[in-house]
Structure 1
Amino acid sequence: MQPFEEEEISITVEASSDDKILIISVAARMAGMHPQTLRQYDRLGLVQPGRAAGGGRRYSARDVALLREVQRLSQDEGINLEGIRRIISLEQTVGDLREQIAELEAALGAAYQRIAELETVGRGYPRADLVPTGRSSTALVVWRPRRPADPPTR
């Protein structure tokens, strides 16, 4: 009995266009499939084409690349359609999470930069709680101590 070998499967179709311009017969020919197969994949949610005003399916170059990958996974790797649907869903989730990570890393970098700027501005001042803002104002601020809260009435 051979040990289970883990193989990485990835769907990379990001570089293709998302413009939904191809009719089903052209997309099927480009993907090397029958148009009925594309209809079935649409019903299963594997590839989701756009719709024309009359209701006809419209595919993008990215959809065609995804159709080819579905065919490869099915025929070459022996993965059933439900497994392929799950792989596609997980790949989309991973892509979304990568985008979110990039956004969070950018925000974190900006926050670190702001902290460094504030630390630089605050150096040389005896009180850490007083940091100049760089804005001058002639406003008068009146401070009044808080009064104790009135006891609740019954």
Structure 2
Amino acid sequence: MDENSPLFAIAMAAELTGLHPQTLRQYDRLGLVRPTRTVGQSRRYSMRDVAQLREIARLGAEGVSLEGIRRVLELENRIAELELRVRELETALADELLTRPGRRVFAAGESGDVVSLRAGTRAQRNNQVVVWRPFKN
């Protein structure tokens, strides 16, 4: 089951969160939670909405204002979007590396500069051994 599937009517969402249905309506009007609407315009809450309502209740109990809660939720949602985008980009990069291996290889030089290498070669390593002895008085 998808966490974004609209499952719960307002009465059930209110029971699951411990909030009054009128409070859920107010949060919807303020844009803190956006439940899906049925054809008859009834609200349907998903598991994600219920979790967000619980978070709103927790933050409110800690004394955070509704505007502060709105901003926290906005930032959390933005983080979730960015994490999803990072996963998409990582997948695209992995796919690209698998389909075109050895196109370009880079390494870091001694001074931190970027050194281009031919495919199949390794970076030259400094293999000097340094012997250290403690200073004796």
Question: Normalised by the size of structure 2, how large is the TM-score?
Answer: 0.67
Q: What is the CA-CA distance between 1:47 and the residue it aligns to?
A: 0.7
1:85 alignment partner in structure 2: 70
Tell me the amino acid that sits aligned with residue 92 of structure 1.
N
With a CA cutoff of 8 Å and minimum separation of 6, indicate the structure with the bigger relative contact order. 1
Deviations 1:29-75 (A, max 9, x none): 11101110000000011111111111111111221111111000110
2:36 matched to 1:50? yes
Alpha-carbon contact 1:16-1:62 (below 8 Å) kept: no
AA aligned to 1:86 is R
Alignment correspondent of 2:5: 19
Q: Is the 1:42–1:48 Cα contact (8 Å) retained in structure 2?
A: yes
Counterpart Cα distance in 2 of 1:80 and 1:27: 22
Q: What's the CA shift for 1:118?
A: 8.4
Read off the aligned partner of 2:23 and give its amino acid letter: T
| Equivalent pair of 1:21/1:60 in contact (CA under 8 Å) | yes
- 5+ residue gaps, structure 2, are 106-118, 121-137
Q: Which structure: larger Rg?
A: 1
- Which consecutive residues of structure 1, in runs of 5 or more, have no partner in the other structure? 1-14, 124-154
**Overall identity of the aligned pairs, in %:** 48
Structure with greater strand percent: 2
Give 1:92 deviation, angstroms: 1.1
Partner of 2:44, secondary structure, is strand
Could you tell me how far apart the structure 2 residues matched to 1:118 and 1:30 are?
54
User: Structure 1 residues 118, 74: closer, same or farther in 2, change over 3 A?
Assistant: closer
* Root mean square deviation, CA, Å: 2.5
Number of matched pairs: 106
TM-score (norm: length of structure 1) = 0.61
Cα displacement (A) at 1:17? 2.1
SS where residue 33 of structure 1 aligns? Answer: coil
